[in-house]
């Protein structure tokens, strides 16, 4: 911003420069405050789901946000249950929402519901200004991999029981063998 002295009154005299430059520094969280849409969402094996990071207040500067998946407060190892278990996303000037895309790995193992936690871990960047900040709340979201690959088992009539003959005029009992294939 430039301030110029244009009109003088009385005996005032302008000597030398008649303009001054005023700089208003970035303020009021100019780079944004970041949080996570904390809605619990399922991620089925072999599929993806988006978990959204939200940028509130300012939207200036490029800011990098780091995230991590946890199970029982322990960080997941790379490729443990998910294609990516940690990562970062970059917000550019003007961007207010970015997805973290989680893809559950299809392992063909019968499993019951599995719960994980997605956490926003750290933040860097943001110029001009003091840099982006993590919000005081909504920094994690619950991630569910629903039961999959028939955890209750698959049952079928055993091949030796598929065909049976029964006389129609005689009261008789008939029993069939049921097998549980694929060792589930």
Binning pLDDT at 50, 70 and 90, where does residue 151 land? low
So what's the pLDDT on residue 25? 59
**How confident is the model over 88-94, as a mean pLDDT?**
94
So what's the pLDDT on residue 152? 66
Please tell us whether the domain made up of 33-145 is placed in CATH 3.10.20.740: no
The domain ranges of the chain are 33-145
Residues contacting residue 32 through CB under 8 Å, at least 6 positions apart: 55, 56, 57, 58, 59, 60, 63, 91, 126, 132, 133
Give the C-alpha separation, 120 to 136, whole Å: 11
So what's the pLDDT on residue 68? 98
Name residue, tokens 């407060």: 73
């Amino acid at each position: 911003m430039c301030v110029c002295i244009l009109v003088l009154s009385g005996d005032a005299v302008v000597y030398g420069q008649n303009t001054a430059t005023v700089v208003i520094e970035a303020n009021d969280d100019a780079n944004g405050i970041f949080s996570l849409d904390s809605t619990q969402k399922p991620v089925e094996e072999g599929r993806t789901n988006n978990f959204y990071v939200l940028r509130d207040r300012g939207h200036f500067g490029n800011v990098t946000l780091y995230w991590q998946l946890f199970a029982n407060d322990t960080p997941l190892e790379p490729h443990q249950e998910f294609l990516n278990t940690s990562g970062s996303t970059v917000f550019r000037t003007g961007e207010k929402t970015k997805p973290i895309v989680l893809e559950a790995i299809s392992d063909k193992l019968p499993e019951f519901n599995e719960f994980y936690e997605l956490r926003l871990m750290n933040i860097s960047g943001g110029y001009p200004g003091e840099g982006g900040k993590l919000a005081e709340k909504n920094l994690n979201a619950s991630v569910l991999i629903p039961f999959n690959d028939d955890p209750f088992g698959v049952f079928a009539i055993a091949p030796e029981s598929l065909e049976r003959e029964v006389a129609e005029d005689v009261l008789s009992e008939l029993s069939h063998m049921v097998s549980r294939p694929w060792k589930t």
